[in-house]
Amino acid sequence: MGRAFEYRKATKMKRWGNMARVFTKLGKQITIAVREGGSEPDTNPRLRVLIQQSKKENMPKENVERAIKKATSKDEADYKEMVYEGYGPNGIAIVVETATDNPTRTVANIRSYLTRHGGSLGTSGCLQFLFDHKCVFKIAPKEGVSLEDLELELIDFGVDELVEDEDSIILYGEFQSYSSIQKYLEENGFEIFSAEFERIPNDMKELNEEQKAQVVKLLEKIEDDEDVQNVFHNMIE
């Protein structure tokens, strides 16, 4: 199995267990998707996938409707997607993706978390060399289509890794290939469980248990911030 899958398995998925956090994250993503592409799922591919993902996560229908309504209301604050990069304790690289209606508050909070835990906030793009930006699709297997055949077919659409994971298949592709991969999957009748973007580290760092605990404490603090959508790092867990 490839580097991207092993990293994803070890880190991000186990931090998504909190249902309230999942619903908040999906709600913001739906609001942003509607503001960017409209409120009709038929004409908004990103919204279409997010609604499907919300069903998979058992997010109440009224939560989805509220997020869509929020996006179309002129009275609601506008979310901005901001990315912050820096280093935590023991030289661990950390990238924080946020959706915020107050970037001044958010950057102050992220800087404070990093500083208090022995880290520092860097400049935009300072960690770009250390992470590969990927789109990740989780889909249902399709009867009569082997993993090998699907992989050969999807290479031309920008997929560079494909892995079986329990009752699903996870596809990794280049960031800019998101639209073409989604279009292929939908046109060929594949059920999409989720579709998101991830930053996969290309250089992992190993720490001892004490150092690891320091970093985990910081990561949990950052993830508890309501503006934070995703946190990526290069620590081996």
pLDDT at 3 (0 to 100): 58
pLDDT at 16 (0 to 100): 47
- Strands in 80-87's sheet, in edge-to-edge order, are 120-121, 80-87, 93-100, 228-233
pLDDT at 1 (0 to 100): 47
Q: How far is CA 212 from the centre of its chain?
A: 23
Per-residue pLDDT of the chain (237 residues; tens, 9 = 90+): 455 555 555 555 445 457 778 898 899 999 999 999 999 999 999 999 999 999 988 999 999 999 999 888 877 778 899 999 999 999 999 999 999 999 999 999 999 999 999 999 999 999 999 999 999 999 999 999 999 999 999 999 999 999 998 899 999 999 999 999 999 999 999 999 999 999 999 999 999 999 999 999 999 999 999 999 999 999 998
pLDDT at 13 (0 to 100): 47
The angle that helices 178-187 and 45-56 make with each other, rounded to 10 degrees, is: 70
pLDDT at 42 (0 to 100): 92
The overall pTM is greater than 0.85: yes
What are the boundaries of each domain within the chain? 3-72, 130-200
pLDDT at 4 (0 to 100): 58
First to last CA, the chain: 17
pLDDT at 213 (0 to 100): 96
What is the DSSP-derived secondary structure letter of residue 90? G
Residues 6+ apart with CB under 8 A from 200: 3, 4, 7, 8, 131, 132, 134, 172, 232
Give the Cα separation of 152 and 140 in Å (integer): 17
**What separation in angstroms does the CA of 177 have from each of 46, 110, 132, 159, 172?**
13, 30, 13, 8, 10
Fold topology of 130-200: Alpha-Beta Plaits (3.30.70)
- At the fourth CATH level, the homologous superfamily of domain 3-72 is Integrase, N-terminal zinc-binding domain (1.10.10.200)
Name beta bridge partners: 168: 165
Give the Cα separation of 85 and 213 in Å (integer): 20
